[in-house]
Structure 1
Amino acid sequence: MFSKEEAARLRQQFWISFGQYMKPILGAEGLPVNWVNYKTGVKNIFFRMDAEKKQANIAIEIAHPDEGIRELFFEQFQEFKLMLENTLNEQWDWIPSVTNSYDKQVARIEMVLPNVSVYNQQQWPDIITFLKPRIIALDEFWTDVKPVFEDLK
């Protein structure tokens, strides 16, 4: 078992490594992207990547505080479900209401990689191999649909 400090150091080390690995990869618009802290440019819509003790995941998180607006955004994403799945080449889980790690009600569209641990450096390549193509595909998808969500603001 790791101390809190060691666990935090390993998590930080993983995300630094991931960021360095992704740094040379340009976004869909041919511009540099901060992949680790991806900015959607639309308030309350986030692309979240996480690596934990037992899994890694990537998600689109709709965190608008107004439940009705959150539902509207989620429904709009559902309109683009086929486009998203075609861009990702897989189906993700659609969760209309869940409590996130910040104890807020959100809607999530996510994919989970079970049975990996950020605390096992031997598994970092598996986690990176899981996250990399998906965040790149999300960027490609977002480039096409972002204007619709900007209009919903």
Structure 2
Amino acid sequence: MYSKEETQRLKREFWIAFAEKYPRKWMLYDTKIKDAAFKFYADNKKAQVIMEIEPRSDHKRFQYFEKMESLKNILREEHIKDLVFERHFILENGKKVSRIWVEKTGLSMNNRQHWDAVFEFFNDHMDAFERFFYEYSDYIMDIDLNE
């Protein structure tokens, strides 16, 4: 078991190593949709690439989620086949979001021997997610924001 300081140091080294191996600017929060972002996540059991939709208005959140869901077959067939779509996802802090993600279990950011596999998973899946998003962004963002 790691101390809190050791865990923080290891996490910092993990993210620095990822940035060095794949030195590119990821879209992440630059989706042009307020409160929608792509995220990387890793812990001691899994790695995930996530799109989180979290506008304060449930109505707006559901509109964006439904747009993504309407493209589910294209997204799965052409980009990432194992995506999970969850309209109602509750974060640890109790916040309700909609989430679309893919994960790979059996990987640990605490195990340096897993880092290359995590980095490759992150790169491959985030790149595919971003390419899809760029291709369909006009359609996804075309919702009635006045509702």
User: Partner of 1:6 in structure 2?
Assistant: 6
Q: Which runs of 5+ in 1 are unaligned?
A: 24-32
User: Which runs of 5 or more structure 2 residues have no equivalent in the other structure?
Assistant: none
Q: Is 2:49 aligned against 1:58?
A: yes
Structure 1-normalised TM-score?
0.85
Would you say the 8 A contact 2:45–2:105 is kept in 1?
yes
Work out whether residues 46 and 60 of structure 1, in 8 Å CA contact, stay in contact via their aligned partners in 2. yes
Q: Could you say which residue in structure 2 is the equivalent of 1:90? A: 81
- State the match for 1:130 in structure 2: 121
Does residue 45 (structure 1) correspond to residue 39 (structure 2)? The answer is: no
Deviation for aligned residue 1:35: 2.4
| Partner residue in 2 for 1:73 | 64
Asked if 1:106 is matched to 2:60, the reply is no
Indicate conservation of the 8 Å contact 1:42/1:149, yes or no.
no
Q: Give the letter aligned to residue 135 of structure 2.
A: D
Shift of residue 56, structure 1, vs aligned partner: 0.9
Residues 62 and 108, structure 1, Cα contact 8 Å, conserved in 2 = yes
After superposition, what is the alpha-carbon deviation per residue over 1:83-120, rounded to whole angstroms, capped at 9, x for unaligned? 21133241311111111245321111111111211011
Is residue 2:111 matched to residue 1:120? yes
The two structures have a TM-score, normalised by structure 2, of 0.88
The question of 1:144 aligning with 2:131 is answered no
Provide closer, same or farther for how the CA distance between residues 7 and 54 of structure 1 changes in structure 2, counting only shifts above 3 A.
same
Counterpart residue identity of residue 49, structure 1: F
| % same residue | 26
Q: Match of 1:30? A: none
The amino acid of 1:137's aligned partner reads A
How far residue 142 of structure 1 moved from its aligned partner, in angstroms, is 1.0
Residues in 1 aligned to 2:97 and 2:116: alpha-carbon distance in whole angstroms = 30
